[in-house]
Amino acid sequence: MEDNSYTSNKANKYDLEALSNISNRINKFKLKQSDITANFQILNRFLNTTDNLIEFIQKLFELKSLKGFETIHLFIHQKGLTRTDHLEVLRNTYREYSHKITDFSSFFQSIKKSKNRSFGQSKISGFNLEILGTFLAHEFSLSNYNLILIISRNDFLPQTEDEIRNFKILTSTLSSYIEIKLEQNLVDNRKFKLKQGIELSPFELEEGQGEVRLNRKTLNHLDHGDIFHHERVSLLGELLNTLRHELSNPIFGLELTTQLLLLEEHNEEQLPFVEEIQKSIKRSQSILENFTHLYKETNEFELIDPVALINEVFTLTKSESRHLKKEVITTENEFKIFTNSTWLAQIIFNLVINSAQACKNVKNAFLKVQIDLKEDFVNITLFDNGPGIPAEKQPEIFKPFYTTKEKGTGLGLAICHSLSKKLKGKIEYLHSDKGASFHIKLPYENISN
């Protein structure tokens, strides 16, 4: 039943005013609703077409409600942390800052208390915002984050009614989107770290039925060898680096002074001494340099001369292996292999030390290291004339913590095993009547110069 009293000719001025007020309010409401719906649609599109939070915020400049605005600031405080991240997003660039939580909190509170969200510069405390003039701000309390959003035209004019209204509409819908993008960032970070962890894992992984699992056998022998190895490697790396630098300076000083002494007038008696000093200095420098090549804390492969590397390792083991006559045998002409020098050196080092300890009471003890190239492989075989390893123990020797020494850690061969795999090769024990024999097989690429 229609009540036409408001539209009848009897309607008086007062009624007409009331009608137009109501009609305006209805229109405004409709506008607001359709604005909000449109906003959702647009923000959904932004959400799906951007990869991260910064891209999403930059997309907001495409909104009509941000026409004329130049800068968006987003302060993000992850609950529980003492710092606040701060994104300053312009139409074409962005900058990231970090702030203390105390500045953020007081700012957050003052925005919360504000009614029309419109601020002049005097309201900023503790932040260097570089915003000229007035800005609109809104605070959000999400489950894991507190946020402050600021938009500014970078001028001194106060905000118009429309701008304030549009900002309110925008912020009423924006918080969930920001929350989604923040969570997306977190998930992406975690995915990346997990992927890294899998790639760098010393453990064998097997894939099956859409999942990746640790190999059963590996789980049972958690490769402690490798973990300890990594820890020792870092400390060793630091020590070597410091030693090298500390030594290289005084040695260089000696070299320079000696050169000067030779340039100046000298008597004939002193000359041979000065020359001997020079020789010792050169030897010291070459030792430092060799060990620098031997030890590089990197996962990278490079071309190295394996014969030179093995001889350098022999020098390193001198104190433990004086009684062991060591030599490298090869029928190949000088060649290089593509490998990681540190890992290979560590393997040879462990094997030489083992040999030296096993042959402690052997007369005329020797260790021969044979290198040859066969098709696509480098074969490095180490054999000594010690007691060897009895058959029943052979399957156990590469397992972590297996040792026959009183003071052994049982990690040496386990480390060799894990490093051989990292070198994309393998190591095995060869049966022999005459002593222990280890065979390392590495891939060989004939990279001709």
* Residues forming the site for another protein (CB under 8 A): 245, 248-257, 259-260, 285
Cβ proximity to another protein: between 185 and 284 the closer is 284
Cβ proximity to another protein: between 101 and 243 the closer is 243
How long, in residues, is the chain? 449
Cβ proximity to another protein: between 285 and 330 the closer is 285
Local structure of residue 247 (DSSP, 8 states): H
- φ and ψ of 338, to 5 deg: -95, 105
Cβ proximity to another protein: between 252 and 273 the closer is 252
C-alpha–C-alpha distance, residues 181 and 147, integer Å? 13
292-322 burial: b if 16+ Cβ within 10 Å, else e: ebbbeeeeeeeebebbbbbebbbebbeeebe
Whole-number minimum distance, CB 144 to another protein, in Å?
Answer: 35
C-alpha–C-alpha distance, residues 348 and 310, integer Å? 7
Whole-number minimum distance, CB 254 to another protein, in Å?
Answer: 6
Whole-number minimum distance, CB 298 to another protein, in Å?
Answer: 12
Cβ proximity to another protein: between 246 and 396 the closer is 246
C-beta of residue 114 within 8 angstroms of C-beta of residue 90: no
The pair of structure tokens assigned to 343 is 């890992």
C-alpha–C-alpha distance, residues 197 and 26, integer Å? 58
Cβ proximity to another protein: between 219 and 256 the closer is 256
Cβ proximity to another protein: between 275 and 428 the closer is 275
Q: How many CB atoms lie within 10 A of CB 192?
A: 10
Cβ proximity to another protein: between 257 and 446 the closer is 257
Whole-number minimum distance, CB 296 to another protein, in Å?
Answer: 12
Cβ proximity to another protein: between 36 and 254 the closer is 254
Cβ proximity to another protein: between 255 and 320 the closer is 255
Whole-number minimum distance, CB 257 to another protein, in Å?
Answer: 5
- φ and ψ of 287, to 5 deg: -65, -45
C-beta of residue 144 within 8 angstroms of C-beta of residue 78: yes
Whole-number minimum distance, CB 132 to another protein, in Å?
Answer: 30
- Residue 130 zone, left/alpha/beta (φ > 0; ψ -120 to 50; rest): left
Give the CB-side neighbour count of residue 253, counting CA atoms within 13 A: 5
Q: DSSP secondary structure string, 156-188?
A: SSPPPHHHHHHHHHHHHHHHHHHHHHHHHHHHH
C-alpha–C-alpha distance, residues 241 and 246, integer Å? 9
Spatial CB neighbours of 222, under 8 Å, sequence gap ≥ 6: 203, 400
Give 373-384 as a 3 state SS string: EECCEEEEEEEE
Whole-number minimum distance, CB 261 to another protein, in Å?
Answer: 10
The two most distant CA atoms of the chain are separated, in Å, by: 135
Whole-number minimum distance, CB 278 to another protein, in Å?
Answer: 13
Going along 333-434, which residue ranges are E strands?
337-339, 366-374, 377-384, 426-429
C-alpha–C-alpha distance, residues 25 and 18, integer Å? 10
Whole-number minimum distance, CB 264 to another protein, in Å?
Answer: 9
Cβ proximity to another protein: between 240 and 251 the closer is 251
Whole-number minimum distance, CB 253 to another protein, in Å?
Answer: 3
Whole-number minimum distance, CB 251 to another protein, in Å?
Answer: 7
